[in-house]
Amino acid sequence: MIDKKHITDRFVKYVTIDTESDPNNPAFPSTEKQWNLAKVLVEDLKTIGLKDVELDENCYIMATLPSNLDYEVATIGFVAHIDTSPDFTGKNVNPQIVENYQGNTIVLNEEKNIVLSPDYFDDLLQYKGQTIITTDGTTLLGADDKAGVTEIVTAMEYLINHPEIKHGNIRICFTPDEEVGKGAHLFDVKKFGADWAYTMDGSQIGELEYENFNAASAKVSITGKIVHPGYAKGKMINSMLIASEFINALPQKEVPEKTTDYEGFFHLHDIKGNVEETVLEYIIRDHDLDLFEKRKYLLQKIAFDFNERLEQDLIHVEIKNQYFNMKEKIVPVMHIVDIVEEVMKEIGITPLIKPIRGGTDGSQLSFKGLPCPNIFAGGHNFHGRFEYIPVESMIKATEVIVGIAKKVAKK
């Protein structure tokens, strides 16, 4: 159905364009280099024959595959993001292609002794006999979410080349800055004009998700006082030592590396400090809204208690909500999830319906009035040097998109 070399070449083309976003830049998009891929995609979409191809001033790309039906059905959409995570460099990505993988350890970088081993990443063993695309050990790969971009473009191209496959109007959108939490901020739902959509932004084959974390960021600023250490008694206030106490005051088992499924967490992801000032950067996550609110309250309560004990206002906590659990927006229209589950089963995929331990553009879009569950894109170990994707998973994801279009045309 889908040509293996063609989809591989397209994916490699996209991942070798650096589109890393920047969480510290308020501009939109947060990096100029995201425009580089956006302009390539505009040309690709025009070349395959999509209509209404548009790149707006905020780096959103929208396009239409017109209906070939003589009756009305729902307009559906597919969404993916073009940026890659700032957690690990996406510059000079050099994809390695491993044909007919046999369950062995893959040497990513011989010089630096970096390997991808099934002894540690046992998911690899699911893909024996398949073609695996990896990094060279020095960058991330960018399958999150250039796999999703590749799959959507390839599916649209396939439908255009096979007009015998009946489908309604299909809208697609590629967004910037998803990895820094802004991907849906300026998304024009009315202009997009779909009844519902799907983000192609999940991980391993079969994932189908309509629940995600409620999410917030927290900045904990701790003020100290610097004096000469030889004369510091009763005068110096070491913000780093207070920060250490603050960190230990949070529940020690409620961190990403010790939680799973619906369990929430506090994640300390950055520390900058000296005696005079220390800043702790947290993300707060929980699927349950009440527990989410309690987590935010706990941070504030710890800061309040510390300030009371120290008899000074030395700790300030700033919390910003990022996105909310889309479940409440999807459950009333669960047929849009049922469609995907049916398609997966029909093409031999076992659906893995589970909560997202993270977020996608779909969570924000659902709250903006565009119900938007999440479908697998096929990659593993996102945001790091051990990221990889089986080509066969990208092919299956593309088949899911085509299958959804066909099924909606019959509704």
Going from N- to C-terminal start, the domains of the chain cover 4-212+325-410, 214-322
Name the residue among 53, 13, 8, 60 with its Cα closest to residue 34. 60
Residue range 195-202: mean pLDDT, rounded: 96
Nearest-10 crossing angle of helices 143-161, 4-15: 140
pLDDT score of 181: 84
Residue range 26-45: mean pLDDT, rounded: 97
pLDDT score of 323: 87
3-state helix, strand, coil in the chain (%, to 5): 35, 25, 40
Distances (CA, A) of 128 to 11, 131, 132, 223, 379: 21, 8, 9, 54, 15
Residue range 339-362: mean pLDDT, rounded: 92
The model's pLDDT over 118-134, given as tens digits with 9 standing for 90+, comes to 999 999 999 999 999 99
Report the percent of the chain where pLDDT is more than 90. 94
Side-chain-facing half-sphere of 405: CA atoms under 13 Å: 31
pLDDT score of 409: 97
pLDDT score of 60: 98
Which residue type sits at 189?
V
pLDDT score of 312: 93
The model's pLDDT over 380-407, given as tens digits with 9 standing for 90+, comes to 999 999 999 999 999 999 999 999 999 9
| H helix runs in 49-193, sequence order | 143-161, 189-192
Asked if the model's pLDDT at residue 264 lies above 80, the reply is yes
Assign 411 a pLDDT band (cuts: 50, 70, 90): low
The model's pLDDT over 274-331, given as tens digits with 9 standing for 90+, comes to 999 999 999 999 999 999 999 999 999 999 999 999 999 999 999 999 889 999 999 9
Between CA 210 and CA 331 the distance in angstroms is 8
257 CB burial (10 A radius; 0-12, 13-18, 19+) = exposed
CATH number of 4-212+325-410: 3.40.630.10
Q: What is the mean pLDDT of the chain?
A: 96
Side-chain-facing half-sphere of 231: CA atoms under 13 Å: 2
pLDDT score of 361: 86
Looking at the DSSP assignment, which residues form a beta bridge with residue 356? 212
Between CA 370 and CA 146 the distance in angstroms is 22
Between CA 280 and CA 179 the distance in angstroms is 20
pTM, two decimals, is 0.88
Catalytic residue among 18, 22, 44, 83: 83
The model's pLDDT over 141-158, given as tens digits with 9 standing for 90+, comes to 999 999 999 999 999 999
For the domain made up of 214-322, the CATH class stated in words is alpha beta
Asked if the model's pLDDT at residue 360 lies above 80, the reply is no
Per the annotation, the verdict on 286 as an active-site residue is: no
Q: What is the CA radius of gyration of the chain?
A: 23
What's 121-148 look like in SS3?
A: CHHHHHHCCCCEEECCCCCCCCHHHHHH
| 3-state SS assignment for residue 364 | helix
Report the percent of the chain where pLDDT is more than 70. 100
Per the annotation, the verdict on 178 as an active-site residue is: yes
Assign 1 a pLDDT band (cuts: 50, 70, 90): confident
Residue range 184-199: mean pLDDT, rounded: 97
Catalytic residue among 18, 144, 178, 361: 178
Between CA 5 and CA 123 the distance in angstroms is 24
